[in-house]
Amino acid sequence: MEVSWLDPYTKAFDAIVDAISEVIGEDRRRVSYLLAVPSRREYGDLSFPAIRYVKSSGLSAEEIAVRVREILEERGINYVGVSVLKGYLNFTLDVGAIAEKLAGMAGEKILEVPRTGEPLKIVVEHTSANPIHPLHMGHARNTCLGDTLSRMLMARGHNVNRRFYVDDVGKQVAVAALGVKVLGIDPMEEAVKHGLKPDHLVGWIYAATHTIIDIKRLKKAAGEAERDEDKRRIMGEIEDLMSVLADLESKDPAGYFNRLLEGLSRIDDPEKTLSEMMIRYEKGLEPERTLIRGVATTVLEGFKQTLARLDVEFDAWDWESSLVWEGLVERVLEEARRSPYFIYYKGAEALDLPRFIRERVKPDPELRRHFRLPRGFEIPPLILRRSDGTTLYTTRDIAYSIYKFEVTGADKVYNVVGAEQRLSQLQVRLALAAIGYTSIAINMVHYDYELVTLPRMKMSSRRGRIVVLDDILETLRTLAEEEVEKRNPGAPRDWVRGVAEKIAVGALRFRMVQTSPQKPLLFDIEKALDLAENSGPYLQYTYARASSILRKLGANAQLQPPRRDACESPKRRELILQALRTPRVAAKAADDLAPEDLAVHLLKLADLFNSWYQEDPVIREPDVGARSCKTLIVYLVREALSLGLGLLGVPVLERM
């Protein structure tokens, strides 16, 4: 049985689920899944396929209906009618009776997500961007999905722990650190000195260092090339990179370019230098330990500033290097060596995942179901440690997976990671099972999502050509500010800017979760800001409109018992039900890990409300009973939007 304050609709829904479950002997979760809003009004407000259970229950659909009706009446749910049509139980709610129950609750919290009766400890790991440059638009989808999932699961009653994995072991961070070392600066101090965001400063150093090193490597390759066609190809690549380098020079944040170019030119073999830095950092040796950790910490400070704008928080920041230094990665290696699937592959320590799949996964239906191996795709052996002694990021991911479960006591872990990481995420889960952590492998879920693209833009972080999330937020805020000023001439500047910031955040966050994660997302700034339809600002505007109506009603906003018949006109009735469905929609969206379903519901609610308000005004309604019903509708829509937008991380606005 789910628990929490329940509004009349949710209370009826749960009572119907319990009654059907008792009568037919089916699990209530399955019943809840099958109890749905029918496509046609004549089929009632909720419908259940009783015909599927006639044989197993030994009851006809009509007999099931009679018993369900009796249980509902016994439990005081006297505002639900039950009928049978073509083997379906159709439930019709007495909206007038529901409106009477809600009368007098104006100003109180009416809608709340029903809490699960089976709360879990859940870890949601998300964002986890490499600490080498500012967050970009690809990270935006990860961040918004991860934070929204966390909010929805918490509202559902789960104990959620939000974690950020700081990937500071590897070549990319070493490149940024080498640039900082050559410049001889403290990046945090330099950022403050020049009024720069710290992640933007390090991002430029990383891109410039990477490009200079690549040009140096290609020049050497061109000198060693024996064939003219190879030399021409390499020279073409150098020419392209020189253009990139010129662009980076033009964006030099603090007069670093020549110092960086000269310093890197004095390093005979940058690749060897980077390799040595990586090895020493993984061993925790100085000065690399302090240098690289310091660079990563500087970037994280910039991340936190951006995340604060989006109202995103984490419960823990987990350092990849700490897993290595504290022996957790070595523990994984030792356990792997004891596994029957441990091998040496191409001279390196590895796990024979193909044999593990043949011997353990394919014969086991449960493991096959959990791993969902792609057909016709051969999973290669997984190398755990290179011949030079450094571990691979997948090895460290295995250690981190174990750490997340052990340190939190989690029942479930959701890794919000891009779809391009499907193979590596699958390898990690297979490796966990191969070394004896089957339960962790089964209860760790890769919540994948497709890429974000912007019209006519391509991204390359190593070249500094990324669409920075801060810049997109600023563009959204600037455009929103112009619109707010146009609609509110003479309004205080601080108020305009504050409203514009919330509109910008709402536009971004809603667009990032509006589309199914399994579909690529094209981010169009104009569409994201559209106040007329299908956007976060459109929902914010609808909320503000409802708030404005209630302000104008003033003392008349205090709800009086409405006339029952006043709430039974088709549009009013549908609006009341659509608003009251919001907690149940949110609960199902949380259970299904599908925030896009909640987004679609809110847009439909806003469309219904805005079209209704144009043709059925509230404030000028002379009939007290009818005005009370209309006022109730405004309250319910406003609260439903507040609930849904809060779960999606979209700020609400009383005025726009």
Asked if 482 and 602 sit in the same domain, the reply is: yes
| 112 falls within a domain | no
Give the CATH number of the domain where residue 569 resides.
1.10.730.10
- The DSSP bridge pattern shows strands 444-449 and 412-418 to be parallel
Binned at pLDDT 50, 70 and 90, residue 7 comes out as: confident
User: Which pLDDT value is given to residue 553?
Assistant: 87
- What's the domain range around 50? 8-93
Work out the pLDDT band at 415, boundaries 50, 70, 90. very high
Of the candidates 453, 483, 514, which is a domain's last residue? 453
pLDDT in tens, 198-236: 999 999 999 999 999 999 999 999 989 889 899 999 999
Rounded CA-CA distance 164/604 in Å is 34
pLDDT band at residue 106 under the 50/70/90 scheme: low
Q: Are residues 361 and 337 in the same domain?
A: yes
Asked if residues 53 and 60 have their Cβ atoms less than 8 Å apart, the reply is: no
Q: Which residues pair with 577 in a beta bridge?
A: none
pLDDT tens across 470-489, in order? Answer: 999 999 999 999 999 999 99
Same domain for 423 and 336? yes
Peptide bond just before 8 cis, omega within 30 deg: no
* Summary mean pLDDT of the chain: 93
* Pair 140, 273 in one domain: no
In a shared domain, residues 473 and 581: yes
Query: Are residues 8 and 19 in contact, defined by beta-carbon separation less than 8 angstroms?
Result: no
Alpha-carbon dihedral sign for residues 114, 585, 111, 122: positive
**Angstrom distance (rounded) from CA 178 to CA 541:** 49
Can you read off the two tokens belonging to residue 362? 């394919």
What pLDDT, on the 0 to 100 scale, is given for residue 642? 97
Shared domain for 549 and 415, answered yes or no, is no
In a domain, 507, yes or no: yes
Instruction: Please report whether residue 101 resides in a domain.
Output: no
Q: How far is CA 609 from the centre of its chain?
A: 28
Question: Which of 435, 419, 307, 418 lies closest to 382 in space, CA to CA?
Answer: 435
Which residues are CB-neighbours of 58 under 8 A, at least 6 positions away? none
Distances in Å between the Cα of 261 and the Cα atoms of 132, 177, 199, 257 are 19, 15, 21, 6
The verdict on residue 106 lying in a domain is no
Residue 230 is assigned to a structural domain of this protein: yes
Mark which of 396, 428, 453 sits at the end of a domain: 453
Whether 179 maps to a domain, the answer reads yes
Same domain, 566 and 636: yes
Predicted confidence (pLDDT) per residue in 59-76, tens digit: 999 999 999 999 999 999
Same domain, yes or no, for 149 and 180?
no
Residue 212 and residue 460: Cα distance in Å, rounded?
15
| Residue 423: partners with Cβ closer than 8 Å, 6 or more residues away | 379
User: In one letter, which amino acid is 467?
Assistant: V
Whether residue 346 has pLDDT greater than 80: yes
pLDDT per residue as tens digits for the range 275-317: 999 999 999 999 999 999 999 999 999 999 999 999 999 999 9
pLDDT at 3: 47
pLDDT tens readout for residues 483-531: 999 999 999 999 999 999 999 999 999 999 999 999 999 999 999 999 8
Section 38-46 average pLDDT: 90
Distance CA 333, CA 326 (A): 13
pLDDT above 90: residue 270: yes
Answer whether residue 409 shows pLDDT above 50: yes
Nearest to 405 by CA among 163, 142, 153: 163
- Asked if 444 and 394 sit in the same domain, the reply is yes
634 close to 618: Cβ distance less than 8 angstroms: yes
State the pLDDT at residue 386: 86
pLDDT for 169:
95
In whole angstroms, give the CA distance from residue 602 to residue 652. Answer: 13
Structure confidence by residue, pLDDT tens digits, 370-401: 998 877 778 999 999 988 778 899 999 999 99
Residue 406 belongs to a domain with what CATH number? 3.40.50.620
Residue 404 has pLDDT above 50, yes or no: yes
Q: Determine which of 446-450, 461-465, 585-589 has the lowest per-residue pLDDT on average.
A: 461-465
pLDDT digits (tens, 9 = 90+) for 556-575: 666 677 888 899 899 999 99
* 460 has pLDDT over 80: no
Same domain, 52 and 159: no
What's the structural domain count of the chain? Answer: 4
pLDDT at 167 over 80: yes
How high is the pLDDT of residue 1? 46
Q: What is the pLDDT of residue 107?
A: 58
Is the pLDDT reported for residue 244 higher than 70? yes
Of the candidates 628, 498, 494, 649, the one whose C-alpha atom is nearest the C-alpha of residue 572 is 628
Q: Is residue 421 part of a domain?
A: yes
Q: What is the pLDDT of residue 556?
A: 61
645 close to 602: Cβ distance less than 8 angstroms: yes
- The CATH number given to whatever domain includes residue 74 is 3.30.1360.70
The per-residue DSSP string of 555-571 comes to GGGS--PPPGGGG-SHH
Q: What angle do CA 272, 277, 280 make, to 5 degrees?
A: 125
* Residue (of 3, 83, 10) closest to 48 by Cα position: 83
Does a structural domain hold residue 309?
no
CB 161 within 8 A of CB 410: yes
Verify that 375 and 251 share a domain, yes or no.
no
Q: Are residues 544 and 530 in the same domain?
A: yes
Q: Which amino acid is at 100?
A: E
> Under DSSP, is residue 253 helix (H, G, I), strand (E, B) or coil?
coil
- Which of 266, 285, 304 is the endpoint of a domain? 285
pLDDT > 90? residue 454: no
Q: Which helix (H) or strand (E) holds 200?
A: helix 198-224
Core vs surface per residue 291-312: b (16+ CB within 10 A) or e = bbbebbbbbbbbbbebbebbeb
pLDDT at 382: 96
Tell me: pLDDT of 5 over 80: no
pLDDT at 42: 85
